[in-house]
Structure 1
Amino acid sequence: MTDTPSPQWGPRPEGSPPPTEGPKKKPRRIFLWVFLAVQALFLIWIIVGVNEAGDDPSCEGLTGEALELCRDAGDVGTAIGVGLVIGLWAAVDIILGITYGIYRLGQRRQP
């Protein structure tokens, strides 16, 4: 009998261990971090927008009902602004989700 190794392209002999491909690479979670960063930016945007709403310089010098009306109008504007930001947030999340889905479809292994 000879000590020549068997070719790697043929069938494995009985009892031989399966070939190892080395350590598997840990999958990178780049999309997860990008998605979380986008969520954090929108959340900060909403928090800052709501907190800045009380500092309306156009209400200075007003008293009584005029001051109350001015503040109420500012609150309505803030609510509309927050609603628009939330709508934009949802649209960006949908776009990110579709983009990730297309990316995953392209990375699938073909049988």
Structure 2
Amino acid sequence: MTTNPTPAWGSPGEARPPGSGTGTGTGTEKKRHRIFLWFFLAVQALFLVLVIVGAGSNDDSSCKGMAGDALKTCQDAGDVGTTIGVGLIIGLWAAVDLILGITYGVYRLARRRA
């Protein structure tokens, strides 16, 4: 006579805990789509690319023909302009993330009460 060991979630007649397998097998489980997560990650990737491209866009072609202090001043001004541009991109990034976060919170609250 052999006895089957009792599973960690209880006897075979008991319901399984959430996320522990196939569920009840009724086919009524609703699959959760993570559309917002993928959209949010796409926005983050876009802004990351914008920051990298913006930081690398310092072009000294407008300083051609200059020498000495004038060249140094022109290059420093270009660096300041690049810093301001990257700062504006990061500020926009933060604002968009804040708007997305508030929108997602309102969406979750509306779905919970329905």
Q: CA RMSD in A?
A: 2.1
Letter in 2 for 1:44: V
Unaligned runs of 5+ in 1: 1-16
Q: Choose from 30, 34, 37 the match for 2:42.
A: 37
Q: 1:80: which partner in 2?
A: 84
Q: 1:107: which partner in 2?
A: 111
TM-score by length of 1: 0.75
Offset at 1:79? 0.7
Q: 1:28: which partner in 2?
A: 33
**Alpha-carbon distance in structure 2 between the residues aligned to 1:41 and 1:66:** 36
Q: How does 1:5-84 map to 2 (within 5 A)?
A: 21-53=26-58, 55-84=59-88
Indicate the percent of aligned positions where both proteins have the same amino acid: 67
Offset at 1:70? 0.5
Considering Cα pairs closer than 8 Å and 6+ residues apart, tell me whether 1 or 2 has the greater RCO.
Answer: 1
Residue-pair matches, total: 93
Please list every run of at least 4 consecutive aligned residues from structure 1 whose deviation after the TM superposition is greater than 3 angstroms. none
SS in structure 2 of the partner of residue 43 of structure 1 = helix
Larger Cα-atom Rg: 1
**Alpha-carbon distance in structure 2 between the residues aligned to 1:36 and 1:47:** 16
TM-score by length of 2: 0.73
**Alpha-carbon distance in structure 1 between the residues aligned to 2:51 and 2:27:** 47
